[in-house]
Amino acid sequence: MIAEAPQRGRWAGLVFQCFLVFSLAVGVITLIVLFGQVLIDSQGYLDTSLLENPPSALPELAGARPAILASIYLAVLVFGFSVPIGVLTAIYLEEYAQKERWYNRLLELNIQNLAGVPSIVYGILGLAFLVRGIGLGRTLLAGSLILTLLVLPTVIIASREALRSVPPSIRDGAYALGATQWQVTWRQVLPAAIPGIATGSILALSRAIGETAPLLLVGAVTYVRFDPTLTSAFTALPVQIYNWIKQPQDEFKLLAAAGIVVLLVMLLVLNSAAILLRNRYQKRW
Amino acid sequence: MAAGDIVHAQARPSLGVRRRRIGEDIIKAILGLAALVSVLTTVGIVIALILPALDFFRAVSPVDFFTGKDWAPLFQPAHFGVLPLLAGTLVVTFIALLVCVPCGLGAAIYLSEYAHPRVRSILKPILEVLVGIPTVVFGYFALTLITPTVLRGYLGLSTDVFNALAAGLVMGVMLLPIVASLSEDAMTAVPNDLRAGAYALGATKLEVSTRIVVPGAISGIVASFVLAISRGIGETMIVLIAGGTQPNFTFDPRVSLETMTAFIGATANGDVPTGSIEYKTIFAVGLTLFVLTLAMNLIAIRLVRKYREVYE
């Protein structure tokens, strides 16, 4: 009788396990095929002219230099804007706010919801307020501001988790020595949370770099031949890729594949940095 | 002695402590200002959508907008029925759910209940990579590989170059890790005592997974589905690239269609004059999109809270 129990469900168990493995395989195989396809397609266009030339009507001459530069500028700006605001908000919510207050609960709900607002809606916000409202125009600055708002919830949520993982004993110890709340936060809690904050922020940043939809609304002109500045028109790398995909000629699709490889390499560098940071500095309390 | 001290403190409050307090107040104000940015973002989104949308609804009746089966804002005479866009969004999202619900759930059960810790530590980062891939890349994949090679080649379907099926399938793979990771979190939160109890009664691993763990984590699992729907509705680039920009009131997944997001992306990218009725359609459609995803997000947030309350 006792031995029968596992026997009874053996076939069902086996079939079920096959289904589970298949489920995971769908994701893993797609990933491998996608990487393979992009690499194969990009052959022939993945060269230095892609990095050095501006876009062109001729696929052999076309490059993505202005787009790549703009994406790097965007990354730097978004990082500079979103990390201070995000970390300060996280400190407010974790260290200062009284959680039972209705406005703090609303704030928390608001941030959770913002994390799920479609990115194109942020584009509409940018179009209405930044581009037309305060007259920034379709500039790199407007693009970076809207991407900042887009990734801010992610930065806040990651920073909060990092702050929460700092054990209360650290705070208690500092308070016992007579430190004020800010001294406790600034000198004890924040330094201990920095690895987690940095990892989360870098991951948020990689989302900003790969984002296309909001930039279609706030900037990202199709054809930019010059190196971008803060207040000039710009096109980011994902937007450039999208514009190449849209072209009817197949050569441009292959060029898009080459652009995708560059984009993925940029993301790979960022993500590796995040993982390195996490493994190197992560503390186990 | 003690009483004297208190009198002394009242008469001459310590300056050091007083100064500190002002500093702390300033810091609190700065922190509050940072938190205000998020609030203003939401307020800004609502204003940016509602004001032009109201303008739009002054020109086009809401009844025509929500019940019209014809979407042709740039034609003469113009038609502003949002149903074709809504249908496009629903078709693509539904196809995506057919992929990401079973596969995401299966992946979550595998990672939470079956996988050896070492296997898990390899598979989880791979799924994280999938989350990090830009959607424009998925769009490229759907347009240049799934449609010509898989759908038309292996499966022999007669699809349009742009079609809902390719966009939906690829979107499903994109959403898979979202369903998997949120569901897995909920499953790991189910206490081990419940599993041990079931095993002690002679349950098989299959029974423990499907009758103990899944029901125990059900609110988190449903939350992951709702979140996937919200993401699917709001996803732009995959449908813009692979689904097409041809508003079509049909549920046939093989033909080209246009989703709400694709319409916004395609229209805003062109040069539509500010203030024109075409320009305002962006906001009316955007508002519809925002309300839909807001509802989904609130449901998901609520469900996640529920399972956290039960087990944590």
pLDDT of residue A75: 93
User: Span A29-41, mean pLDDT?
Assistant: 92
Q: Quickly count: other Cβ atoms within 10 Å of residue B303's Cβ.
A: 22
What's the pLDDT score for residue A210?
92
CA pair distance B238, B234, nearest whole angstrom: 11
Tell me if chain B has a CB within 8 Å of the CB of A19. yes
Per the domain annotation, does A48 fall within a domain?
Answer: no
Using the Cβ of A12 and the Cβ atoms of chain B, whether some distance falls under 8 Å is answered with: yes
Q: What's the pLDDT at B94? A: 96
pLDDT greater than 60 at residue B14: no
**pLDDT of B255-266, one tens digit each?**
888 899 999 988
What is the number of other CB atoms lying within 10 angstroms of the CB of residue A280? 8
Q: Would you say residue A53 lies in a domain?
A: no
CATH number for the domain spanning A72: value is 1.10.3720.10
Pick from B123, B206, B265: CB nearest A24: B123
One-character DSSP codes across B281-296: HHHHHHHHHHHHHHHH
For residue A102, the number of C-alpha atoms closer than 13 Å in the C-beta half-sphere is 0
Look over chain A and give the mean of its residue pLDDT values, rounded to a whole number: 87
Structure tokens of B177? 């890790």
pLDDT of residue A6: 52
* Of A136-140, B8-12, B239-243, the least confident: B8-12
Q: What is the pLDDT of residue A284?
A: 64
pLDDT band at residue B3 under the 50/70/90 scheme: very low
pLDDT of B9 strictly over 50: no
Q: Which two tokens stand for residue A182?
A: 């800010």
Put simply, whether B185 touches A (Cβ < 8 Å) is no
Indicate whether this complex's ipTM tops 0.85.
yes
- Confidence band of B271 (pLDDT split at 50, 70, 90): low
Instruction: Choose the weakest-confidence range: A35-49, B30-44, B169-183.
Output: A35-49
**List of chain A residues whose C-beta atoms are within 8 Å of the C-beta of residue B141:** 34, 37-38
**Does residue A220 form part of some domain?**
yes
pLDDT at A82 over 90: yes
A162-to-A94, A271, B96 alpha-carbon distances in Å: 10, 18, 33
B244 touches chain A (CB under 8 A): no
Domain assignment of residue A204, yes or no: yes
Average pLDDT over residues A31-36: 93
Backbone angles phi, psi at A210, to 5 degrees: -85, -5
- What residues contact B173, with CB distance under 8 A and at least 6 apart? A26, A27, A30, B99, B100, B130, B138
List CB contacts (< 8 A) between B41 and chain A. Answer: 114, 125, 149, 152
For residue A252, pLDDT beyond 70: yes
- Continuous segment of H or E residues that includes residue B80: strand B79-80
Question: Which residues of chain A lie closer than 8 angstroms to B138, CB-CB?
Answer: 34
Burial class (CB in 10 A: 0-12, 13-18, 19+), B28: middle
Amino acid at B19: R
Distance CA B76, CA A142 (A): 34
Does residue B7 surpass a pLDDT of 50?
no
User: Which sequence spans correspond to the domains of chain B?
Assistant: 2-59, 71-311
CA–CA distance, B20 with B17 (Å, rounded to integer): 5
How far is B203 from A273, CA to CA, in rounded Å? 45
**For position A274, what pLDDT does the model report?**
85
Q: What is the DSSP string of B113-124?
A: IIS-HHHHHHHH
| B99, B141, B261: residue with CB nearest A120 | B261
CA distance B65 to B46: 20
- The greatest distance separating any two alpha carbons of chain B, rounded to the nearest whole angstrom, comes to 96
Q: Which domain holds residue A262?
A: 63-281
So what's the pLDDT on residue A3? 46
Q: Which residues of B touch A121 (CB under 8 A)?
A: 45, 49, 234, 286, 289-290, 293
- The reply to whether A173 touches chain B by the CB within 8 Å rule is no
Least confident range from A225-234, B28-37, B60-69: namely: A225-234
Token duo for residue A24: 């995971």
Which pLDDT score is estimated for A164?
92
Q: What are phi and psi of B291, to 5 degrees?
A: -65, -45
CA distances in angstroms from B244 to A65, A87, B10, B139, B149, listed in the order given? 28, 40, 75, 11, 18
* pLDDT tops 80 at residue A28: yes
**pLDDT computed for residue B246 by the predictor:** 84
Q: Please report, as a single letter, which amino acid is at residue B100.
A: C
Taking an 8 Å cut-off on Cβ atoms, the answer to whether A30 and B227 are in contact is: no
Judging by beta carbons within 10 Å of its beta carbon (0-12, 13-18, 19+), is residue B215 exposed, middle or buried? exposed
Q: Are B206 and A9 in contact (CB under 8 A)?
A: yes
Q: Which of A34, A97, A117 sits opposite B293 (nearest CB)?
A: A117
How many structural domains does chain A have? Answer: 1
**How far apart, in whole angstroms, are the C-alpha atoms of residue A152 and residue A165?**
20
- Count of beta carbons in the 10 Å neighbourhood of residue A114: 23
Q: Would you state the pLDDT for residue B75?
A: 73
Which pLDDT belongs to residue A217?
Answer: 87
Say if the Cβ atoms of A34 and B207 lie within 8 Å: no
Listed by number, the residues of chain A in 61-100 with a beta carbon closer than 8 Å to a beta carbon of chain B are 84-86, 88-89, 91-93, 96-97
Predicted pLDDT of residue A131 = 80
Q: Answer whether B293 touches A (CB < 8 Å).
A: yes
The Cα A219–Cα A23 span in angstroms is: 39
Q: How confident is the model at residue B2 (pLDDT cuts 50, 70, 90)?
A: very low
Q: Provide the b/e sequence for B126-162 (b: ≥16 CB within 10 Å).
A: ebebbebbbbbbbbbbbbbbbbeebbbeeeeeebbeb
CB contact under 8 A, A85 and B34: yes
In a domain? residue A242: yes
Burial A9-29 (b: 16+ CB within 10 A, else e): eeeebeebbeebeebbebbbe
pLDDT of residue B215: 92
Fold assignment, B71-311:
MetI-like fold (1.10.3720)
| Residue among A12, A93, A125 whose CB faces B45 most closely | A125
Closest CA to A118 of B224, B180, B295: B295
DSSP result, A74-126: HHHHHHHHHHHHHHHHHHIIIII--TTSHHHHHHHHHHHHHTTS-HHHHHHHI
